[in-house]
Each structure stands twice: as C-alpha cells, then as structure tokens.
Structure 1
Amino acid sequence: MPYVLLACAIGTDVAATCALKYSVGLTRLWPSVITVAGYVLSFYLFALALKSMSVGTAYAIWSGVGTATIAAIGVLFMGESMTAAKAVGIALVIGGVVLLNLGGVAH
C-alpha cells in the first residue's frame, strides 16, 4: 500500500508541476488552483506513504521518478529539447533510484 500512495503522490506532483507551467507565474486562475491543490495532495499522500516507508528511499523515489517524468513530459509535450547531457542525467537519476532501492532490501 505505501508504494501505491507514493505512486499517487508522484502523479499529483507531476500534474501540479505541469499546471505550474501553464499558470504563467500563477497569473492564470485554473492552472494556479490545480498547481496548489496538486502540491497539497501530493504532500499529503507522501506523508501517508512515509508512515510505513523509510524517508530516504521514499524521497529518492518521489523526487527521482518525478524529475525524470517531468523531463520526459517537457520533451514530448512542451517542446523542450533532448540533449545528450539531459538524457544521461535522466538515466543517472533513474539509476540512482534503482540503486537506492536495491541497497534498501537488506534488513
């Protein structure tokens, strides 16, 4: 269950960040409302996930997957360029999250 909550926290964080782009500096009402509501919901879901997950692992997954997803959305839907450096950076973020999870298996 904590991973489902974490996945939902990541999803709402990504949605809020996309809305932030369209809020034009929080000057457009509905994208701004979606941004604030999305971040509040994201933090709430993240807090629930932390009840039964280690904070280091959960935060690494939350920030890493969110960062990689937003970078991909930027390239695919918002006209941002994909450079070799950006691709390597995304791969390193994903690799770091995987490594943290593998390192957290031992009790």
Structure 2
Amino acid sequence: MAYIFLSFAILTEIIGTTLLKASEGFSKIPLFIMGFISFGIALVFMTISFKTIPLSIGYAIWSGVGTAGTAIIGFLIWKEKLSISSYTGMVLIVIGVILLNVPSTR
C-alpha cells in the first residue's frame, strides 16, 4: 500500500511541476496555485508512504522517477529537446530504482 501512496506522490509532483511551467512565471496565477496545491498533496502522500518505506529508498524513487517523468512531459508538451545523455540518464534512473527495490541478500 505504501508504494501506491508513493506513486500518487510522484504523480502529483509531476502534475505540480507541469502546472508551474504552465503558469509562465506567475503570469497565470490559477495554474501556479494549482501547482502549489499539487506539491502539498504530493508531500502528504509521501509522508504516508514513509511510514513503511525507508527514507533513502522512498526519496530516491520519488526524486528519480519525478525527474524522468518531468523530462518526458517537457519533451511531449513543450517540445523540449532531449539529448542522448538525457535518455541515458533516464534509463539509469529507472535501473537505479529497480536496483533499490531488489531485496538484499544480507
């Protein structure tokens, strides 16, 4: 269940970041407010997920997947360019998240 809350935290963080970009530097206040609220919701979901998920793993997943998701949204919506190193970085983030979730043999 904690990973579902973490997934909602990631999703709402990506939505919040997207809304902040869409607010065009505070020129569209309603979008800024919605983005700010989305970040608040993300923090609530993240706090709930930390009841079970260790901080080091939860935060790494949240920031890594959020970064990759935001880069993809930038590419799809705002036609921002992604270089080979950007794609490589996102693949490495996904690999890192997978490795964080592999059970330890210790």
What range describes the TM-score normalised by the shorter chain of this pair?
over 0.9
**Within 1, Cα distance between the matches of 2:26 and 2:43?**
19
- Partner in structure 2 of residue 31 of structure 1: 31
**Within 2, Cα distance between the matches of 1:53 and 1:100?**
11
Relative to the length of structure 1, the TM-score reads 0.92
Tell me the secondary structure at the aligned position of residue 101 of structure 2.
Answer: helix
Relative to the length of structure 2, the TM-score reads 0.93
Percent identity over the alignment is 32
- Partner in structure 1 of residue 90 of structure 2: 90
1:91 CA drift (Å)? 0.9
Unaligned runs of 5+ in 1: none
**Within 2, Cα distance between the matches of 1:42 and 1:32?**
15
- Partner in structure 2 of residue 53 of structure 1: 53
The size of the alignment, in residue pairs, is: 105
Amino acid at match of 1:77: I
1:30 CA drift (Å)? 1.1
Deviation per CA, 1:69-103: give whole Å up to 9, x if none. Answer: 1111111121101211111111111111111111x
**Within 1, Cα distance between the matches of 2:95 and 2:63?**
13
Unaligned runs of 5+ in 2: none
Pick which of 45-54 and 20-29 moved more.
20-29
1:36 CA drift (Å)? 0.8
**Within 2, Cα distance between the matches of 1:32 and 1:26?**
6
Amino acid at match of 2:31: P
**Within 2, Cα distance between the matches of 1:91 and 1:31?**
30
Tell me the secondary structure at the aligned position of residue 93 of structure 1.
Answer: helix
The 4+ residue runs of structure 1 with deviation greater than 6 A are none
